Structure 1
Amino acid sequence: MSKFAIGDKVDKATGGREGGVVVAVFLTDDGNFRYAVDMEGYGTLQFLTEERLVVHIS
């Protein structure tokens, strides 16, 4: 089961805590999860592994 779900607010674990909202969850061929995150303020999607994300803390 994936750690994050569509609609979850997340931050990148490194690199200044940029954040966004999970818009898609993918299961890779090797059984890991990858997330499409709509990055706030950038208007772009980033595809990140579970290890590179943390729960957004308000």
Structure 2
Amino acid sequence: MSKFAIGDKVDRATDDHESGVVIAVFSTDDGNFRYAVDTEGYGTLQFLTEEKLVVHPCY
């Protein structure tokens, strides 16, 4: 089961914790997951592994 779901707000674990929203979840042939994240402020999609994401803190 994937750690994140569509609609979850996440931060990159590196690169100054850029924020974004998960818009798609893909399973790989080896059983891992990749996430398409709509990065705020850039208007781009980034495809990231689970290890590179953390839950966005709610303030």
Question: 1:48 & 1:28 partners in 2: Cα distance?
Answer: 12
How many pairs does the alignment contain? 58
Q: TM-score, with normalisation over the residues of structure 2?
A: 0.96
Structure 2 equivalent of residue 21 of structure 1:
21
SS of match in other structure, 1:35: strand
Structure 2 equivalent of residue 3 of structure 1:
3
Provide the aligned C-alpha RMSD in A: 0.5
Matched, 1:42 2:33: no
Structure 1 equivalent of residue 55 of structure 2:
55
Matched, 1:33 2:33: yes
Gaps of 5+ in 2: none
Gaps of 5+ in 1: none
SS of match in other structure, 2:20: strand
Which consecutive aligned stretches of 4+ in structure 1 deviate over 3 angstroms post-superposition?
none
Per-residue deviation, residues 1-50 of structure 1 (Å, max 9, x unmatched): 00000000000001100010000000001110000000000000000000
* Greater fraction of residues in helix: 2
